[in-house]
Amino acid sequence: MDRNIAYWFAVHTRSRHEKQVDSFLREKSIDSFLPLVKTLSRRRDRREFVDIPLFPGYLFVNIPLDNVCDVICTRGVVRIIGTNPHTPTPIPEKQVNDIKILVNGNVKLDPYKYLKSGSRIRVKVGPLRGVEGILLKRKTNYRVVVSIDLLQKSTSAEISIADIEPID
């Protein structure tokens, strides 16, 4: 891994501190991505839509390895996720870009358990065009499940079976 090239990394934050950490990172001019989904909050006296993290406790940063210390020293950051405790593991850019497309695609997203097996597919038309994931059938509709392998977390979006193609 080249120390001067920016890679995507998953950052584990303190519980319910994702938005605050994202703000602190942006103040430091660090490229961060916090995928948020709108959900209905049921308070005692009212109901309103609020943005919550798609992957609670995590956000993503695009940094070179030389800037890891800047992220770890940010208030609210627990660690950068890696397969080795002291070495961060990069996330494939395609996976992060697919999550960005899902979040910006104006479709209803549901957090989904991490899947490793299943039919790999690519969406060929519509707002989710180019997204690659796993095909899932739920009752009468189909969903594409996109995973972040390192976090072992996934999200799913409803799709039309006519809009997809298998990946070889």
Query: Domain end: 48, 80, 112, which one?
Result: 80
At residue 115, the pLDDT reads 59
At residue 15, the pLDDT reads 95
Output the average pLDDT for the chain. 91
Residues 111 and 153 in one domain: yes
Task: Render 48-114 in DSSP notation, one character per residue.
Answer: EEEEEESSTTEEEEEE-GGGHHHHHTSTTEEEE--SBTTB--PBPHHHHHHHHHHHHTT--EEEE--
Residues 76 and 97 in one domain: no
Q: Across residues 121-144, what is the average pLDDT?
A: 89
Note whether 134 and 115 are within 8 A (CB). Answer: yes
pLDDT greater than 90 at residue 38: no
Whether 1 is in a domain gets the answer: no
pLDDT tens across 41-83, in order? 877 778 888 899 999 999 999 999 999 999 999 999 999 999 9
CA distances from 134 to 28, 68, 108, 149, 156 (A): 36, 32, 17, 13, 9
Whether 155 is in a domain gets the answer: yes
pLDDT greater than 60 at residue 5: yes
Residues 137 and 109 in one domain: yes
Count structural domains, the chain: 2
Q: Across residues 123-134, what is the average pLDDT?
A: 93
Whether 157 is in a domain gets the answer: yes
The domain of 45 spans 7-80
Whether 88 is in a domain gets the answer: no
Query: Domain end: 80, 108, 134, which one?
Result: 80
Whether 85 is in a domain gets the answer: no
pLDDT tens across 103-112, in order? 999 888 877 7
At residue 165, the pLDDT reads 87
